[in-house]
Structure 1
Amino acid sequence: MKKQVIALAATAAFTASVFAQSSVTLYGVIDEGIDYTNNVGGNSVVELQSGYAQGSRWGMKGAEDLGGGNKAIFQLENGFDLNSGRLGQGGRMFGRQAYVGLSNDKFGTVTFGRQYDSVVDYLAQTTSNGNWSGYLFSHPFDNDNTDNSFRVNNTIKYASPDIAGFKFGGTYSFSNDTNFANDRQYSIGAQYATGGLLLAAAYLQANNAGATTGGAIATNDASFLAQRMRVFGAGINYTLGSATVGFAYTNSNYKNPTGNGYLADPAAIIAPGATLNTLKFQNFELNAKYQVTPAFFVGGEYVYTMESYDASTGGVKPKVHSVGLMADYNVSKRTDFYVQGMYQKVAGDKTNSVMDNAFILGTQAPSSTANQFAFRAAIRHKF
């Protein structure tokens, strides 16, 4: 009997030790506010909207220590609309992230599932919308995915460890189609951080983005539906004391685009009676943020976007100017209040499509003119 008691005690101690090396964390963000838009199809609107500075979400993530610097890891993250209770990201249960993988202290991390691409992981952090401002401050139509309009399904991702401030990674997303390249995606990216300096670059390509429901970029998840999508860019942030300034350049190229996921009529980007051969965007962003006190910051951005619209009816090159301002005050470690204002103006050549009208992402629909203004006052709570 004494031997059995000792054996049971030893087993219990070993089991407790194993469990102590595992962890599961439940977390979330609730972002809720009142929005005003001066022109939505010719009328102003005031509305209650969820998830702008950060998408409203809840999730679980965990790790199990396997020994030798190895860990098994997972993350499941749900997006939702606070006002209706609807699931986000096309009605997916875990539409923001859903993956499992292995991590090693020396060699990095490999994960499998629905994940972020390298533009989001590395480059977006040098833009204001991919860092501190969110949805309203996106580049037109989020053409470069720096605001994470879509995630990539069926994805294998590698992320390196931090090597003296340098880290890199990449993704490959299977089409899961008998035609191997039909709706697949791949991306690479890198960052270097030292002192107050952050440098980043990334490249992404998707073939037949949005062409299938089960591919890398699903039909109801795509920002643009196109035969080929290419995005590349680079950015820099520099922090000195309380001030951070940044510049980011991105280049997005869509071959034979047929629609846009943000519009009620996706094909409205195409001029009547025309075929759209290519649609290109070059975004030049200047951003700045000043931490007035540990609890209060102000920030702003200016984005100059050059579009190239090549249709069967001819080629034109519109320009888009976007200016945004934000102030944020933390009343505690988990709760803050913020206000944002965004103005957009479309200038230059006309495409004879909906793209001639200003459209700030986060508003209900494009303006009836080349100008649009949106204002938001919100509360954000993290848990």
Structure 2
Amino acid sequence: MKPTVNRATQKSVKATVKATAVAAMIGFFAAGAAHAQSSVSLYGQVDEWVGATKFPGGERAWNVSGGGMSTSYWGMKGSEDLGGGYKAIFTLESFFRAQNGQYGRFQGDTFFARNSYVGIQGPIGTFTAGRLTTQLFVSTILFNPFVDSYVFSPMVYHVFLGQGTFPTYTTDQGVTGDSGWNNAVQYTTPDFNGLSGSAMYAFGNNAGDGRSKKYSAQFLYFHGPFAATGVYQYVNFNATPGDLPTSNAFVTPGFKSQSVGQLGASFDMKYVKFFAQYMYTKNDIDNGSFHVNTGQGGVTVPVGPGTVMASYAYSRSNGGLDQTHKSWAVGYDYPLSKRTDVYAAYLNDKYTSLSTGDTFGVGIRAKF
């Protein structure tokens, strides 16, 4: 015979069970939050400019284009507290072209080309693995007035817009490869009173073939108005690495490897900030080798609410195509708010035996 329970008792039991379940859920999530606090953020920037571009030896083109001062991108990053001062971290960042709505810096670019990694951060430093921004790129953009502008920065032109990048003109100057490395691992030290270091290695990812290896090391130092960096980068390309374009990889045949050393410094006097860089590039080819010396100097000067920027870069190779490369640029950046600025800039670019190129325009950049 089944026991009988009145309706009042049933309601009381249901209410008690529901309250217990809710309390258990709250307790579960609270305990999880206490042991593993996590966060995820969305961020990025959109940069568009209007103007004209004439590459050395080429014709002028008028355009609406992206990335005048900084390449447009969006990203996600997050962390989870693992306890004991350690955190799991990840970052996914993708470039895009707002002028046509396409992803990537160019047709065929990797989707998460800016950064794509996961890692562990703790008291002894940070370990990351995936597609990582190169230390040479970090050194290049931190110590020139135009930072990471692929349109107006003379130093970016001399470092990253040379060898194997633009088929518009012929040059064997600049570094091989991208501003990011695939299949890479990196260790970064903690900050020691403004001094930190890092080391990176990128694998070829081909069984029995170690010819596509890359590695680099860097130090960074920030102390009051003074900052400095030093970086060394080596790329072995007896076989073309997977992240180099095969259609226009090298203009000089028989490349074997490339070594790059770069030093940079800046000093901020408040009313003017000085920038200086020197880079030595050694290219090994089948019948010998040749090197390129590169120097850059620049300033930023506060004028009104904005900043005037000026930079000059010079490169000279002692072999290969035996070229001289000279570039200078001036610009003005005006902040409309903390997240939005407008700018105007002019770049003059000259290679030996080629007509002078130049780029000028105005643009707007919004960060989120």
> Where do 5+ consecutive residues of structure 1 fail to align?
257-274, 311-315, 348-355, 358-368
- Equivalents in 2 of 1:33, 1:236: separation in Å? 29
Q: Once the 2 structures are TM-superposed, how far is the Cα of residue 135 of structure 1 from its aligned partner? A: 3.5
- Whether the aligned pair in 2 keeps the contact of 1:210 and 1:222 (CA below 8 Å) is no
Q: Does 1:338 align with 2:343?
A: yes
Q: Tell me which residue corresponds to 1:98.
A: 116
- Equivalents in 2 of 1:373, 1:319: separation in Å? 16
Q: Once the 2 structures are TM-superposed, how far is the Cα of residue 210 of structure 1 from its aligned partner? A: 7.2
- Whether the aligned pair in 1 keeps the contact of 2:151 and 2:359 (CA below 8 Å) is no
Of the candidates 207, 224, 244, which is equivalent to residue 218 of structure 1?
244
Q: Does 1:61 align with 2:77?
A: yes
Task: Tell me: CA distance 1:328–1:134, structure 2 relative to 1, closer, same or farther (3 Å).
Answer: farther
Task: Tell me: CA distance 1:145–1:208, structure 2 relative to 1, closer, same or farther (3 Å).
Answer: closer
Q: Tell me which residue corresponds to 1:155.
A: 184
Task: Tell me: CA distance 1:40–1:102, structure 2 relative to 1, closer, same or farther (3 Å).
Answer: same
Of the candidates 341, 349, 363, which is equivalent to residue 378 of structure 1?
363
- Whether the aligned pair in 1 keeps the contact of 2:65 and 2:99 (CA below 8 Å) is yes
Q: Does 1:193 align with 2:178?
A: no
- Equivalents in 2 of 1:73, 1:53: separation in Å? 28
Q: Does 1:306 align with 2:316?
A: yes
Q: Tell me which residue corresponds to 2:40.
A: 24
Bigger radius of gyration among the two: 2
Q: Tell me which residue corresponds to 1:260.
A: none
- Equivalents in 1 of 2:24, 2:281: separation in Å? 64
Matches within 5 A, 1:240-251: 240-251=269-280
Q: Once the 2 structures are TM-superposed, how far is the Cα of residue 345 of structure 1 from its aligned partner? A: 2.4
Q: Does 1:115 align with 2:115?
A: no
- Equivalents in 2 of 1:39, 1:88: separation in Å? 22
> Where do 5+ consecutive residues of structure 2 fail to align?
1-15, 163-172
Q: Tell me which residue corresponds to 1:361.
A: none
Secondary structure of the residue aligned to 1:121 is helix
- Equivalents in 1 of 2:39, 2:134: separation in Å? 26
Percent identical residues: 27
Secondary structure of the residue aligned to 1:161 is coil
Computed over aligned residues only, the root mean square deviation of the Cα atoms, in angstroms, reads: 2.7
- Equivalents in 2 of 1:243, 1:210: separation in Å? 46
Deviations 1:76-132 (A, max 9, x none): 00011112222215332211110000000x211000000012212345411334x26
- Equivalents in 2 of 1:113, 1:209: separation in Å? 23
Residue type at the aligned position of 1:218: L
- Whether the aligned pair in 2 keeps the contact of 1:186 and 1:205 (CA below 8 Å) is yes
Task: Tell me: CA distance 1:144–1:179, structure 2 relative to 1, closer, same or farther (3 Å).
Answer: farther
- Equivalents in 1 of 2:367, 2:239: separation in Å? 32
Of the candidates 213, 229, 238, which is equivalent to residue 258 of structure 2?
229
Secondary structure of the residue aligned to 1:83 is coil
Matches within 5 A, 1:36-51: 36-38=52-54, 42-51=58-67
- Equivalents in 2 of 1:32, 1:26: separation in Å? 20
Q: Tell me which residue corresponds to 2:92.
A: 76
Task: Tell me: CA distance 1:78–1:279, structure 2 relative to 1, closer, same or farther (3 Å).
Answer: farther
Task: Tell me: CA distance 1:156–1:25, structure 2 relative to 1, closer, same or farther (3 Å).
Answer: same
- Equivalents in 2 of 1:279, 1:230: separation in Å? 11
Task: Tell me: CA distance 1:71–1:124, structure 2 relative to 1, closer, same or farther (3 Å).
Answer: same
Matches within 5 A, 1:166-185: 166-185=195-214
- Equivalents in 2 of 1:52, 1:227: separation in Å? 34
- Whether the aligned pair in 2 keeps the contact of 1:122 and 1:190 (CA below 8 Å) is no
- Whether the aligned pair in 2 keeps the contact of 1:128 and 1:134 (CA below 8 Å) is no
Q: Once the 2 structures are TM-superposed, how far is the Cα of residue 222 of structure 1 from its aligned partner? A: 8.7
Q: Structure 1 length as normaliser, TM-score?
A: 0.79
- Equivalents in 2 of 1:222, 1:157: separation in Å? 28
Q: Tell me which residue corresponds to 1:282.
A: 293
Secondary structure of the residue aligned to 1:181 is coil
Deviations 1:145-184 (A, max 9, x none): 59x9431010001111111010000100000012442211
- Equivalents in 1 of 2:238, 2:124: separation in Å? 32
- Equivalents in 2 of 1:103, 1:255: separation in Å? 37
- Equivalents in 2 of 1:158, 1:103: separation in Å? 10
Q: Tell me which residue corresponds to 2:3.
A: none
Residue type at the aligned position of 2:80: E
Q: Once the 2 structures are TM-superposed, how far is the Cα of residue 218 of structure 1 from its aligned partner? A: 3.3
Task: Tell me: CA distance 1:98–1:42, structure 2 relative to 1, closer, same or farther (3 Å).
Answer: closer
- Whether the aligned pair in 2 keeps the contact of 1:285 and 1:303 (CA below 8 Å) is yes
Secondary structure of the residue aligned to 2:28 is helix
- Whether the aligned pair in 1 keeps the contact of 2:141 and 2:148 (CA below 8 Å) is no
Q: Tell me which residue corresponds to 2:267.
A: 238
- Whether the aligned pair in 1 keeps the contact of 2:277 and 2:297 (CA below 8 Å) is yes
Residue type at the aligned position of 1:300: A
- Equivalents in 1 of 2:111, 2:259: separation in Å? 28
